[in-house]
Each structure stands twice: as C-alpha cells, then as structure tokens.
Amino acid sequence: MKNTILLPLFLLFSLVISAQLKKAPAYPLITHDPYFSIWSFTDDLTAGASRHWTGAEQSITGWVQVDGASYRFMGPADKEKKTSGANNLAVANQQEVTVTATRTIYRFTCGPVNLQLQFTSPLLLNNWTVLTRPVSYITAILTSNDGKTHEVRVTLNISTNVCINKPEQEVAVQKYVASAGGQVLNVLKAGSVEQPVLKKKGDDLRIDWGYLYVAAPKDAVQQIAGNVNDVPVAVQGPDSLTGKSLALRTDLPFTKVNATPQEKFIMLGYDDLYSIQYFNQNLPPVWKAEGRTIEKELAQAAGDYKKVVKQCIDFDQQLYNDTKKAGGEKYAQLCVAAYRQCIAAHKIVKDPQGELLFLSKENYSNGSVNTVDVTYPSAPLFLLYNPALLKGMLNGIFYYTESGRFTKPFAAHDLGTYPLANGQTYGEDMPVEESGNMIILTAAIAKAEGNADYAKKHWKALSTWAQYLSREGFDPANQLCTDDFAGHLARNANLSVKAIVGIGCYAMLADKLQEKDTAARYRAMARDMVKKWMELANDGDHYALTFSDKNTWSQKYNLAWDKILGLQLFPPEVYEKEIRYYLTRQNTYGLPLDSRKTYTKSDWILWTATLANKPADFAALINPVYTYLTATPTRVPLSDWHETTDGKQVGFQARSVVGGYFMKMLEGKW
C-alpha cells in the first residue's frame, strides 16, 4: 500500500469501490448530524428528489453540459422547468452506485463524456478535526469516452430547503468571496429570515436556524437562482436574494475534457450557531467551542481536500477488510450501510465544564435526546474506533444523576426531546434496562481503555444502580425494556440476563478498582442468579420469553456482553441451545424478535448471531438481514425494525442503533 499515496485520487477511487455495497434502501449523500443529513431514496439519482432523512425534500439537482448539450444526472424529470438555451436536455445514463463507509459514488455516461459523482462526508472516527468539521464534499470527475476533446460544464443546484423546516419559510441568501488560510473561496450563504435558534423540539423537524454554506474554489462560478429545478443557462444572478425554496447554484467549468480524468469539487457546510440546549444553557457545536470559524473550516476543508479524501479511501478499505475478516462479505456490507447513519444520528458538543457530549437523536421514534437504550445498541462502533465518544454518550446521563436533578435509584431513560436536553421527557422509566445499560457500557469502556478510571469517576452512581439491579433485576416486575414497542412484560428472561450481566460487569469494575470484597460479593450474586435463571427460563430445547410463559421464546441478545467481555457467567451450552433453536425460527428477512410477532430488530439479530461459535451459524443468522438490506421494498434510510415475512419497515429509520452491527467485529478485536 506504500505506493498508493502516489496515485491520483481518481485512480484511487476506481481501485477501491469495486467491492463494497451496491444496493441500499436509501443512499447517504450529506451526513453530519440529525439536522444536516441528506439522502437519495431511489437507486437512480435521476428518479427522485434528494431528501432529509425524515423524507422532507431537500433537493440537490445536477446537469452536465457537453459541447452545449445538457444531461441531467441528479434530480427528477417531472420538476424540470426548461428555459431558453437548454431545449436539448437529455438524461444521463447511470451505470452504477457504490456505497463505502464515508462515500457514495455514482457513475454516469453523459453522451461522449463519463461522469463519476462522489459524495464524501468524512466522518473519520480516528481524525477529530475532520470528524467535527461540518463540511461534506461533492466531487465530479470527468473523462471523454469517444477519444475526442470536449468543452464541459457541471452545474449543481442546492435547495435552500436544507436550512428551513417548512418550504413556506422565507430564506435570505448572499454571495461573497471568503479568504482564509491561503484559500480563496466563492461562497453562497443561506439561512431563514426568522432564525428561531433552538425554539422547536420533536422528531419530524428540520433545522430552521443557522446557515447553510455552499463553497467552491475560486475558479467556480456561483449564483442564486429562483428555482432549484431550473435547467441551467449562463445568466448571472444577484449577489443577495430573499425568497422561498431558492437554489444555490455552482458551475464548475471543465475545459478540454479528454481521456485524462479531470476532477473538481464543491463543499456543503452548516453552521448551526447553537446545537443543543443542555439544562437550559445553549451549547455551540464542538468545532465552534474549540475556537474555529465556519470560514476557516471551509478553507481548511478546501486546502485538505486531497489529503482528506485519501484518508477516507484508506479508512473505507480498512473497515471493509476488517469487517469482512470478522464476519464475511455480507456482514461487511451491513457494516458499511450502518457506518455513516450511526454517526450522523448524533451531535458533538461540550458541556459548560468542557466535557464531551455525544448526543443521539432518537430518529423516527419520539425524538428523545441521549436515550440510554439507543446508546446501548449503538456502542460497538464507538468502542472499536473512538471510546471517548461512548463516554460522551454516557456523560450527560451520569451528570443528570450526580447533579441531583434525577433522584430515582436507577438510571434515567433520556435527557429530553431533541435538541432540548433539559431532563427526561419520556413518559415512563425503564429501570432495569437503563441501569444495566449504563453499567455494562462503563465496563466496556474499561475493557477498551485497559483501566477503570472512568468507572472510578462515577462509582457512586454505578453503585446505586448496581444495588437496584441486585434487588429488582433478576425477576423484573411488569416494566418496559428497550423493545417498548412490544409492550410491557413481567418476568422478562432477556431483561433478567441484562441485570445479571450488569451485576457481573459491576463486579469486574470493582475488581479493577481493587475493591476485592465488593467484586467477590457481586460476582457470586451473578453466578447464583445464572443458576436460577437456567431453571426458571428453561423450556426444553430453548429458553422462554418469560419465566412464567412456556412454549414461548425470544432473542437473548443481552448475552452478547457476557461473551465479549469474558465474564463467563453463563455456560457455553446456554448460547449453543439458543442458537440451535433460533436457526429453526428464521423467516426470509430474518429471525423474529420473539414468539409474539414476526417483526424483528436487525441490530439485535447481529448481537444474537455473535453468540454463535460456528461461522456457518453466524452466516445463517445474518444472511437474511443482508437480504432485507438489499431487497426491502421500503425505501428510506435503513430501518432497524422490520417484518421478517415481507421485508417491509414496521417503524424507525435513520437511527444510530445500527452501530450495533459492529458487535461481531468487536468480538473479534477483544
């Protein structure tokens, strides 16, 4: 690989996208956080408008003009408004689409010219500066396919709907030149006239404060257009404009396109001014808290373009290779599909004391911020690549208890409704669920870091929650668990597993902190509970859904941490018995969650599959999930809750919990 750094980027693009993911329910284009998140819901980029993950239209349209003839490569035909000079509009022929961890790449034939269009959101978990920079690239690479030389212009229109919640909101746009860090950029800046900073909360919302930036190197031509779907003609627009659903247009001129690839890019950035309200204090995005400005971020992104894209290419290939080694080709593609979605369902800020907060939004559910049972399934991805971010997912919940704001003897469910993190708004507690989650994830951080320093910092809260689990966890009362959509359950066998594993994790942490008596006591408690659990849950050739209902079953996905953390609480025959039974219960699109319904949660299937010791059994359990990924009729950002009989979405989409797909890779690492 040492020689690849010498290769041009366009050649590197071609070398590493032949494998990877070719079919997805929806395709990530611009992915940074719950508000700055644009997707294509169709396989062909000209078949539909690009959209926010909620489904609201946030249109990006694009054309190539080759020797005066126009070819549309992005955006639907039914909204074209033809204007003079563009009567010979044609549709580009899309050859393929490929998704990698950080990029989505389209290839088109536009008459005598080939176009490669690449969307790069450089969410590099191993590069803090780039990860926290709110800037994505759209790259166009052009070559002649007929041996001749052509005059070419690529036009991209970005709708100002990206910076408002509803299309009827009025937007102000301005055009200017920015100079920073040795870079000169043409910039279009758009934001709502009203600027209601942090005035709304909820799930089906888009941001309507802060500013969208479309920036390009100085050789690009930019203007403001009245409609994002207008076919481009060479007319210079005003330097500022106020209106609704305006277009931010960039023309990239390519002179003399021949067989040698030519490459140009634009950047989309977002400055949300303030991102989160945290216990009544408005917090800026982390890059701003660290003293960076949006102009400097854009200039740095432009100057670092080749270096960043090279890092993305290398990272994507390494992730693909590592996940393929851990679980096979189909497993690797599932992880690729999950990567950007998981990260972009969070926002990175710092609390008033400078402590990191990595706050999730419970997308397409109730819009909760920092839901603990959303953090729990998301955790494997961050344990692999950046455990500090998992701490950022736990810090707010610890603070909520340690500040005295949340006074119950178990962990809170959430911190509020996004983006207002002022205290729990979910109507019902999940006492065993969330307490077990917090202890288990703190133990996982200790495993990742090789010490229990983080646990020591929060030992009082962890001890309170462990005591609660010792009293109430083994045979849970009628309460909700994370699968709350399935309703209440008393004596939930899988929830009992979580409590037992949580107690075992607390013993593990106590041991690391040299509290030997506490460790021995809780370890013995967990082992005694395992013996009782095996008796009460036993249902012949498997273990039941609840202690009181025989002829039932459920996925015991919480067992995964016992195996991965090496707690050795449950004997291997428990895993084996469950796996053998699960293999008899599968449907076309996966293993149902339990015996009550045929729907499933794909993140839990990936955890359950990790219990298998034989690669063939692991593959047998995850292959139907891959079938769902590539064949679901529901075209939205990956849903984690689907029907196993027909592959249709039941609920949820674009959620961070798909980070749980990385559990098998985590097992391999640990």
The residue from 312, 343, 363 where one domain ends is 312
Do residues 534 and 613 both lie within one domain? Answer: yes
Q: Is the peptide bond before 352 cis (omega within 30 degrees of 0)?
A: no
* Residue 49 placed within a domain: yes
Write out the DSSP string of 449-491: HTS-HHHHHTHHHHHHHHHHHHHHTSS--SB--S-GGG--BSS
What's the helix, strand, coil split of the chain in %, to 5? 35, 25, 35
* Residue 654 placed within a domain: yes
pLDDT for 269 equals 98
Do residues 307 and 333 both lie within one domain? Answer: no
Do residues 544 and 613 both lie within one domain? Answer: yes
pLDDT for 82 equals 43
* Residue 321 placed within a domain: no
Do residues 440 and 344 both lie within one domain? Answer: yes
User: 461-485 pLDDT, tens per residue?
Assistant: 999 999 999 999 999 999 999 988 8
Torsion, Cα 189 195 196 201, to 10 degrees, reads -10
pLDDT for 415 equals 98
pLDDT for 39 equals 98
Write out the DSSP string of 408-426: SSS--S-SEETTEESS--S
CA angle 637, 356, 417 (to 5 degrees): 50
Q: What is the mean pLDDT of the chain?
A: 94
Do residues 281 and 206 both lie within one domain? Answer: yes
Tell me the sheet residues that pair with 130.
none
Q: Tokens 């809780």 identify what position?
A: 522
Q: What CATH number is associated with residue 101?
A: 2.70.98
Do residues 283 and 344 both lie within one domain? Answer: no
Q: Tokens 């990877």 identify what position?
A: 20
User: 566-576 pLDDT, tens per residue?
Assistant: 999 999 999 99
pLDDT for 4 equals 39
Do residues 46 and 97 both lie within one domain? Answer: yes
Residues of the chain predicted below pLDDT 50: 1-6, 15, 79-86
Do residues 258 and 341 both lie within one domain? Answer: no
User: 639-656 pLDDT, tens per residue?
Assistant: 999 999 999 999 999 999
pLDDT for 534 equals 98
Q: How many whole angstroms separate alpha carbon 119 and alpha carbon 140? A: 9
Q: What CATH number is associated with residue 622?
A: 1.50.10.10
pLDDT for 11 equals 57
Cβ pair 357, 277 in contact under 8 A: no
The residue from 312, 341, 369 where one domain ends is 312
Q: How many whole angstroms separate alpha carbon 167 and alpha carbon 173? A: 15
651: phi then psi, degrees, rounded to nearest 5? -170, 180
* Residue 487 placed within a domain: yes
* Residue 524 placed within a domain: yes
pLDDT for 70 equals 95
Q: How many whole angstroms separate alpha carbon 15 and alpha carbon 18? A: 7
Burial of residue 149 (CB within 10 Å: 0-12, 13-18, 19+) is middle
Do residues 335 and 455 both lie within one domain? Answer: yes
Torsion, Cα 606 612 614 616, to 10 degrees, reads -40
Q: How many domains does the chain have?
A: 2
* Residue 323 placed within a domain: no
Residue-number span of the structural domain to which 284 is assigned? 2-312
Do residues 417 and 563 both lie within one domain? Answer: yes
Task: For strands 346-350 and 356-360, give the pairing.
Answer: antiparallel
Do residues 105 and 217 both lie within one domain? Answer: yes
Cβ pair 283, 349 in contact under 8 A: yes
Do residues 297 and 334 both lie within one domain? Answer: no
* Residue 319 placed within a domain: no
